[in-house]
Each structure stands twice: as C-alpha cells, then as structure tokens.
Structure 1
Amino acid sequence: MALPGAARLLWRERLPWRPAVALRTGLGFPQLMGRRQKSSPSFLNRTDLPKLAYHKLKGKNPGVVYLAGLFSNMNGEKALALEDYCKSVGHAFVRFDYRGCGSSDGNIKESTLGKWRKDVLSILDELTQGPQILVGASLGGWLMLHAAIARPEKVAALVGIAVAADHFVATFQQLPVEVKKEIEEKGEWRLPTKHNEEGVYSVPYELIQEAENHCVLTSPLPIKCPVRLIHGLKDEDVPWQISMKVAERVVGADVDVILRKGGGHRMKEKEDIKLIVYTVEDLIEQLST
C-alpha cells in the first residue's frame, strides 16, 4: 500500500531499551510505571452539559492530552504511564472521561460520537493552553482526528494507538440485513469482546446511526501536523489496515505508521507502553526545537 509524501512505515518487533527518559528524569522506566496513590478527579462544569471528570498536570508546552477508547476511562495503563512521564519532564498533561464513562456525568446509553467529540473540544478549550499532543486509543484515535481538524491551532501532533476511525460503522454496515434490522428493533448491538467480563459491548443503536455522520476515511483529512500511528498486527478488534488508511488520508507529509508484530488491540504490555511513551517523547523534542 503506497503512502503519501514523506509518510513512512516502521516495523517494530522488539523495542530496545532506550535511556533517554531515564537520563533526562533520573528515573528508570519501571519507576515511571510504578504504583500510585489514588486521587479524586476534578470536574469540568459546563452549562446544560454533563460534568467531565479529569486529572490535570500543569507544566510546559507542548502539553499531552490522552483520549481513551470505547467504554474505557482515564485510569488505564497507557494514560497513567504518559502522566508519569509528563510529570517527570515537567510537561502539562490531561486525562479525562467522556460523558457517560468512568467518573463523568451522563448516561452511556444517550452518548454519541458527536457528543463525545464535543467533550474532547471542551477539554481542549477549557483545560489546555498552547500547543497539545493528542494521544488517542481506538475510538479515542477517531476522536483525535476530529479534534485536529476542528482545532488546528491547538493540536500540534497526533499519536494514534490502534485507531478505530469509522470502524464500528463499517463493521455494522457489513452485517446481514436481517441482523441489522434486529439490532435496530432491539435498540442495541451486542458486540463480542474479550475486554470485559460480560464478553460483549452493548452499543446503543443510536450511537451507531449517529456515528455515520462522523466518518473520516471517505475524503482527505485536512491535518498537517505530525502524525504517528501505532498498531499491533495481532489486533483482533480493529484491523491494522485502518491505520494505513488514516495515513493515506492525512494531507500532511510527516506521517509514520508503526506496526508492532506482537501487539494486540489494547497495546498495554510493558514494551508497548515504552513505545508509546518514546513516541510522545520524540514529538516533544521535535516540537520544542
């Protein structure tokens, strides 16, 4: 698959230890991912909209904002590792929960992609100052693309982790007509998953229907900032080819696709998280020079 301009495809099977973080911070990577004391989130109050729970570190720019995946929250390993890294180097960081998820207000059954897009923009507008690096996992990767288009003056770079742009819309459209009709009648799509005890995600039909208005892979993406797309070849939820499609659609030339031979969808193994942190570190260096 040809990539546009200066976009590059990087293959990562095993990530060698790189001492940059340790040298700059005096910490080794295990310490960056160490145990932490739980703290209560702050809340962003919005007129006539659900309050959003968040954790924020003040620091230098570019700041980093983490966007979680579908039905996930801000307390995952990737978000916490990035927060620890940003704290160690003195850069600003924000992690938060979409409405209806985690500690935020709102009903998950009434949430839509368009509403979550508004949540992301509220976080950018109200809680960040100056250029930001958005790190989006799965659905968060889809939302970060929307944010980069809507706020080009604030979004300085993107890091996508198993970006799920348009994915569940395309998957739904491929279902047999009778199955789609049944989902419409029941009002939910019970999507099989290995990531919770129930073994399924209950996706509201309204969410699927509304998300069709926010598909991004049908035309060029007017994004010119640096983009890094990390995807596992063993991802059983979102095909790695979607990251390739995103790379093709982004109009900017500074685009890298990094394929992890042993990586799964959540990219939460120690070596996976190292790669994510190092990718953010490289972008901070690039944007700070």
Structure 2
Amino acid sequence: MSLSAERPFTLVHPNGERVCGLIHETHTDPVGVFLPGFASNMEGAKSRLLACNAQAQGWSWVRFDPRGVGRSDGLFQALTLSRYLADLQLILQMLENRPVLLVGSSLGGWLGTIAATRWPKQIRALLLIAPAYNFIQEIFRNLPADEQQAWQDTNLRCWGDPYGLGELHMRFDLVADSWRYDFLRFPPYLRCPVEILHGSADKDVPLALSYQFAARAHAPELAIRPLPGVNHRLQGADTVLLRSLQSLWTRIS
C-alpha cells in the first residue's frame, strides 16, 4: 500500500532543534502514535506496517523521528529518555488533547509507559512491543568497574550495534537519566488498558522482564501476550500485532 496519504510535519523545540514526522490525518479520534526503539526511526518495518494499516482503517496516525535519528535534528549520542519524552510532548501538543493510542517498540515501549504516567488524560491505551525496561542500567551494570568509571569520567562510550548500524557513541547522561524511570524499583500507575506483545525467542529483551514489570505495576487492565518462537523484532507476528492494535482501538474509539 502507498503511504502517499501522509503529510510531513516539523515541530521546533525552544533551542531550535527540529522534530520531523509524518501524519495521516482523518480528523477523527483517537490518534495513533508510534514510538520507535533505540537507534530506530520512522522508516522501520513496524513503523511502515502500522502506518499502512492506519490508512487502510481510516485512522489518524503519526510517526516521527526522535532527535538524533532520521530526518530530525540533534546528535544521537545526546539521547536520553527525558529528551525522547520531550520530543513526544511536542507531538502530543500538536494533537491538542485528542485521545492517543501509543504503540511503543523496545525503548519506545519504555518511553510509552513513562508517557502514560505523565499524561494519563490524553494517552488512552498502550500497545507495547517487547518493552525494554531498565536495559540502559543493565548495560552499565554489566560493564567491568574500570569501564563504568571511564564512561562516567569521559561522558562518552563507543560500542558496535548488533543490528548493523555501525559504531554508536553514547554519553553517560543516558545512564544517569535512566535511573529516574526505573519501573522495576518504582512501579508506575497506569490507568489505561495496556497490552504487551513479547516473543519467547527474544534474546535482546527477555520475556521474563515483561512479567517482572507486570507483577510490580499498578495497572488493572494490563495483559501480556507471549509469542512462541518470536524474536525481539517481532518478525512473523504482524497479524498478531495488528489484531491487538484493532482490539485496543475499538475499546477507546
């Protein structure tokens, strides 16, 4: 399906940095917003699948690039959850209090959970794809003590990305900022329906993490759907993803 029905938009932070995205606007509620994962952008396979589905369903839909990736301004190495959250806040302001269904993948799932606690009146449902709670802290914890200290002292660390993005540079700010969003230590209150899709063959974010989160969270409408044999990218589970999205959309529209 063509994505020609989308139109580009640009939002600007007070510091002049731009956040760029695409919107399919039907002037009906609710609005779906996709949150890509770590180092991903709005041109990923899941993002495009969901945008195509929204057009087929006649839904309003937004996808965007967080600062530091894709078409948006900024340096990737400056990424923090708080910065990504500020980008999402611009999107929500653009939507002018319309009800929103967030779909978050991996880091985007963690971010979507934060957002639902921050703006509970606007965010009416969450669909989380292998949400990567606390993965930043785990990366830091698993480093030898001297490498932990070096990252703090220099405020920069480089490592190779397993998905072929090359060498990544990340500031220690990413780690320091992540502690404030530790949902395993400080369980969130989620008022909206939440569904988590998580593959049993996920080697990057283990399925057990979603169950740990669910056991702690104060979320009366939270369901986990384990997907046997499915990996972190949810390959081969497009039908399940779209069915779950349809179910949540029906509940809030």
TM-score with structure 1 setting the length? 0.80
Structure 2 residue corresponding to 1:238, chosen from 205, 226, 229: 205
Structure 1 residue corresponding to 2:139, chosen from 168, 171, 178: 171
Going from structure 1 to structure 2, the CA distance change for 1:36 and 1:57 (only over 3 Å counts) comes to: closer
* Deviation for aligned residue 1:49: 4.4
Gaps of 5+ in 2: none
2:229 counterpart residue number: 262
2:247 counterpart residue number: 282
**2-structure distance, mates of 1:192, 1:38:** 37
**2-structure distance, mates of 1:124, 1:49:** 18
User: How many residue pairs end up in the alignment?
Assistant: 252
Larger radius of gyration: 1
2:44 counterpart residue number: 76
Structure 1 residue corresponding to 2:114, chosen from 129, 146, 152: 146
* Deviation for aligned residue 1:47: 2.6
* Deviation for aligned residue 1:182: 3.1
Going from structure 1 to structure 2, the CA distance change for 1:213 and 1:129 (only over 3 Å counts) comes to: closer
Gaps of 5+ in 1: 1-33
Going from structure 1 to structure 2, the CA distance change for 1:152 and 1:40 (only over 3 Å counts) comes to: closer
* Deviation for aligned residue 1:252: 2.2
Establish whether residue 65 from structure 1 lines up as the match of residue 33 from structure 2: yes
- Is contact 2:21–2:62 with CA below 8 Å preserved after alignment? yes
- Is contact 1:114–1:214 with CA below 8 Å preserved after alignment? no
Establish whether residue 273 from structure 1 lines up as the match of residue 238 from structure 2: yes
Bigger shift: residues 141-150 or 102-111 = 102-111
- Is contact 2:79–2:170 with CA below 8 Å preserved after alignment? no
- Is contact 1:120–1:143 with CA below 8 Å preserved after alignment? no
Give % identity.
Answer: 28
- Is contact 2:125–2:192 with CA below 8 Å preserved after alignment? yes
- Is contact 1:159–1:280 with CA below 8 Å preserved after alignment? yes
* Deviation for aligned residue 1:192: 4.7
- Is contact 1:66–1:135 with CA below 8 Å preserved after alignment? yes
Establish whether residue 46 from structure 1 lines up as the match of residue 6 from structure 2: no
- Is contact 2:155–2:171 with CA below 8 Å preserved after alignment? yes
TM-score with structure 2 setting the length? 0.91
Q: Larger relative contact order (C-alpha < 8 A, sep ≥ 6)?
A: 1
**1-structure distance, mates of 2:16, 2:35:** 19
* Deviation for aligned residue 1:76: 0.9
Q: Deviations over 1:72-101 (max 9, x none)?
A: 101111111111111111111000111111
Secondary structure, counterpart of 2:127 in structure 1: strand
* Deviation for aligned residue 1:210: 2.1
In structure 2, give the amino acid aligned to 1:212. W
